Structure 1
Amino acid sequence: MSELTTPHSQRWWKEAVAYQIYPRSFKDSNGDGIGDLNGITDKLDYLQQLGIDLIWICPMYRSPNDDNGYDISDYHAIMDEFGTMADFDRLLDAVHARGMRLILDLVVNHTSDEHPWFLESRASRDNPKRDWYIWRDGRNGAEPNNWESIFNGSAWEYDDATGQYFMHLFSRRQPDLNWENHQMRQAVYDMMRWWLDKGIDGFRIDAIAHMKKEPTLADVPNPDKLPYAPSMVSHLNYDGLLDYVDDICREVFNRYDIVTVGEMNGLDAAHAEEWVGEHRQRLNMVFQFEHVRLWEPEAGLRPDPLTLKRIFTGWQEALEGKGWNALYVENHDVTRIVSRWGDTERHWRESATCIAAMWFLMQGTPFIYQGQEIGMTNMRFTSLDEFDDVSAHNKARELARQGMSEAEILAYLNRTGRDNSRTPMQWDASPYAGFSTHQPWLPVNPNYEMINVESQLYDSHSVLNFHREMIRLRKRETALVYGRYALLLAAHPQIYAYSRTWQGERILVLCNLSGKHALWPEAELSLRGAISLLANMEEGEDAYRLRPWEARVYKCHN
Structure 2
Amino acid sequence: MSPQADPLYHKRVWWKEATFYQIYPASFKDSNGDGWGDIPGVLQKIEYIASLGVDVVWLSPMFDSPQIDMGYDVSNYEDVYAPYGTVKDVEELIVACHKNDMKLILDLVVNHTSDQHVWFKESRSSKDNPKRDWYFWQPARYDDEGNRVSPTNYRSYFAGGTWTWDKHTEEYYLHLYDKSQPDLNWENEECRKAIYDSAMRFWLDKGIDGFRIDTVNKYSKVLPFTDAIIADPTSFTQFAPEKWCNGPRIHEFIKEMNTEVLSHYRTYDGLPLATVGELSLCPNPSDVIPYVSAREKELDMVFQFDITHLGQGPPGGTSKYDIASWTLPEMKRIVSKWQTFIDGTDAWTTVFNENHDNGRSISRYANDAPEWREKSAKILALWLVAQSGTLFLYQGQEIGMINAPEHWDIETEYKDVESQNYWAEVVRLDDNGTDPGRKERIKKGLQLLARDHARLPFQWDNTPNAGFSREKPWMRVHDLYPEINASSQEGDLQSVLSFYKQMLRLRKEHKDVFVYGTFELLDPEGKDTFVYRKRYEGKTAVVLLNFRLEVQCLPTKEIEGMEMLVSSYGKVVGGPLQPLEGRVYINY
Bin for the TM-score computed over the shorter chain: over 0.9
2:285 alignment partner in structure 1: 269
1:79-94 aligned within 5 A:
79-94=81-96
Which whole-Å CA distance do the structure 2 matches of 1:311 and 1:253 have between them? 32
Q: Indicate if the aligned counterparts of 1:158 and 1:165 stay in contact, CA closer than 8 A.
A: yes
2:386 alignment partner in structure 1: 361
2:181 alignment partner in structure 1: 174
Which whole-Å CA distance do the structure 2 matches of 1:134 and 1:549 have between them? 51
Q: 1:264 to 1:229 in 2, by over 3 A?
A: farther
Q: 1:311 to 1:411 in 2, by over 3 A?
A: closer
Structure 1 residue 352 and structure 2 residue 377: aligned? Answer: yes
1:222-233 aligned within 5 A:
222-224=230-232, 230-233=239-242
1:193 alignment partner in structure 2: 201
Which whole-Å CA distance do the structure 2 matches of 1:36 and 1:236 have between them? 33
Name the amino acid aligned to 1:334: N
Which whole-Å CA distance do the structure 2 matches of 1:501 and 1:464 have between them? 28
Secondary structure of residue in 2 paired with 1:319: coil
2:510 alignment partner in structure 1: 477
Deviation at 1:240, TM superposition (A): 2.8
Which whole-Å CA distance do the structure 2 matches of 1:493 and 1:283 have between them? 36
1:159 alignment partner in structure 2: 166
Which whole-Å CA distance do the structure 1 matches of 2:450 and 2:476 have between them? 14
1:171-219 deviations in Å (ceiling 9; x for gaps)? 1000000010000001111121221121100001101122111112111
2:221 aligned to 198, 213, 226, which one? 213
1:445-492 deviations in Å (ceiling 9; x for gaps)? 000000000111122221111110110001111321222222223332
Q: Indicate if the aligned counterparts of 2:105 and 2:209 stay in contact, CA closer than 8 A.
A: yes
Which whole-Å CA distance do the structure 2 matches of 1:416 and 1:165 have between them? 32
Deviation at 1:233, TM superposition (A): 2.5
Q: Indicate if the aligned counterparts of 1:400 and 1:409 stay in contact, CA closer than 8 A.
A: no
Deviation at 1:223, TM superposition (A): 2.9
Name the amino acid aligned to 1:243: E
2:125 alignment partner in structure 1: 123
**Percent identical:** 39
2:318 alignment partner in structure 1: none
Deviation at 1:84, TM superposition (A): 0.8
Q: Indicate if the aligned counterparts of 1:110 and 1:175 stay in contact, CA closer than 8 A.
A: yes
1:47-101 deviations in Å (ceiling 9; x for gaps)? 1111011010110000011111000000000100100111111111111111100
2:334 alignment partner in structure 1: 311
Deviation at 1:521, TM superposition (A): 4.5
2:155 alignment partner in structure 1: 148
Deviation at 1:3, TM superposition (A): 3.4
1:212-271 deviations in Å (ceiling 9; x for gaps)? 111121111123289x96122211223331121111112112222200001000113232
Q: Indicate if the aligned counterparts of 1:384 and 1:410 stay in contact, CA closer than 8 A.
A: no
**Structure 1: where are the runs of 5+ without partners?**
none
Secondary structure of residue in 2 paired with 1:210: coil
Q: Indicate if the aligned counterparts of 2:322 and 2:442 stay in contact, CA closer than 8 A.
A: no
Deviation at 1:383, TM superposition (A): 4.6
1:343 aligned to 344, 367, 370, which one? 367
Deviation at 1:416, TM superposition (A): 2.5
Deviation at 1:360, TM superposition (A): 2.4
2:582 alignment partner in structure 1: 551
Deviation at 1:18, TM superposition (A): 0.7
2:479 alignment partner in structure 1: 446
Structure 1 residue 184 and structure 2 residue 191: aligned? Answer: yes
2:530 aligned to 479, 496, 507, which one? 496
Which whole-Å CA distance do the structure 1 matches of 2:365 and 2:5 have between them? 33
Secondary structure of residue in 1 paired with 2:173: strand
Structure 1 residue 532 and structure 2 residue 564: aligned? Answer: yes
Deviation at 1:124, TM superposition (A): 0.2
Secondary structure of residue in 2 paired with 1:247: helix
Name the amino acid aligned to 2:300: N
Which whole-Å CA distance do the structure 2 matches of 1:408 and 1:501 have between them? 43
Q: 1:270 to 1:157 in 2, by over 3 A?
A: same
Q: 1:273 to 1:225 in 2, by over 3 A?
A: farther
Name the amino acid aligned to 1:331: N
1:127-163 deviations in Å (ceiling 9; x for gaps)? 0000000000010011001011110001011000100
Q: Indicate if the aligned counterparts of 1:112 and 1:175 stay in contact, CA closer than 8 A.
A: yes
Name the amino acid aligned to 2:160: G
Q: Indicate if the aligned counterparts of 1:137 and 1:144 stay in contact, CA closer than 8 A.
A: yes
Which whole-Å CA distance do the structure 2 matches of 1:202 and 1:25 have between them? 22
Q: Indicate if the aligned counterparts of 2:229 and 2:238 stay in contact, CA closer than 8 A.
A: no
Q: Indicate if the aligned counterparts of 1:509 and 1:551 stay in contact, CA closer than 8 A.
A: yes
1:384 aligned to 399, 407, 411, which one? 411
Structure 1 residue 396 and structure 2 residue 423: aligned? Answer: yes
Structure 1 residue 462 and structure 2 residue 501: aligned? Answer: no
Name the amino acid aligned to 1:255: H
Name the amino acid aligned to 1:265: S
Q: Indicate if the aligned counterparts of 1:508 and 1:556 stay in contact, CA closer than 8 A.
A: no
The worse-fitting range, judged by mean Cα deviation, of 170-179 and 403-412 is 403-412
Q: Indicate if the aligned counterparts of 1:19 and 1:367 stay in contact, CA closer than 8 A.
A: yes
1:39 aligned to 41, 48, 63, which one? 41
Which whole-Å CA distance do the structure 2 matches of 1:99 and 1:539 have between them? 32
Deviation at 1:382, TM superposition (A): 2.7
Q: 1:229 to 1:61 in 2, by over 3 A?
A: farther
Q: 1:173 to 1:357 in 2, by over 3 A?
A: same
Deviation at 1:40, TM superposition (A): 0.5
Deviation at 1:514, TM superposition (A): 2.2
Alignment RMSD: 1.9
1:279 alignment partner in structure 2: 295
Structure 1 residue 246 and structure 2 residue 255: aligned? Answer: yes
Secondary structure of residue in 1 paired with 2:108: strand
Q: 1:534 to 1:229 in 2, by over 3 A?
A: farther
Q: Indicate if the aligned counterparts of 1:272 and 1:319 stay in contact, CA closer than 8 A.
A: no
TM-score w.r.t. structure 1 length? 0.95
**Structure 2: where are the runs of 5+ without partners?**
143-147, 266-271, 313-320, 431-436
Deviation at 1:517, TM superposition (A): 2.5
The worse-fitting range, judged by mean Cα deviation, of 229-238 and 453-462 is 229-238
1:300-334 deviations in Å (ceiling 9; x for gaps)? 46x32211211121112111342111211001000
Secondary structure of residue in 2 paired with 1:518: coil
Structure 1 residue 258 and structure 2 residue 260: aligned? Answer: no
Q: 1:123 to 1:249 in 2, by over 3 A?
A: same
Name the amino acid aligned to 1:90: E
Name the amino acid aligned to 1:463: V
Q: Indicate if the aligned counterparts of 1:212 and 1:238 stay in contact, CA closer than 8 A.
A: yes
Secondary structure of residue in 2 paired with 1:437: coil
Q: Indicate if the aligned counterparts of 2:230 and 2:238 stay in contact, CA closer than 8 A.
A: no
Secondary structure of residue in 2 paired with 1:496: strand
1:516 aligned to 540, 544, 550, which one? 550
Name the amino acid aligned to 1:100: M
2:304 alignment partner in structure 1: 288
Q: 1:519 to 1:52 in 2, by over 3 A?
A: same
Which whole-Å CA distance do the structure 2 matches of 1:329 and 1:399 have between them? 27
Name the amino acid aligned to 1:399: V
Which whole-Å CA distance do the structure 2 matches of 1:493 and 1:384 have between them? 37
Q: How many residues matched?
A: 552
Which whole-Å CA distance do the structure 2 matches of 1:521 and 1:208 have between them? 42
Secondary structure of residue in 1 paired with 2:141: coil
Q: Indicate if the aligned counterparts of 1:223 and 1:231 stay in contact, CA closer than 8 A.
A: no
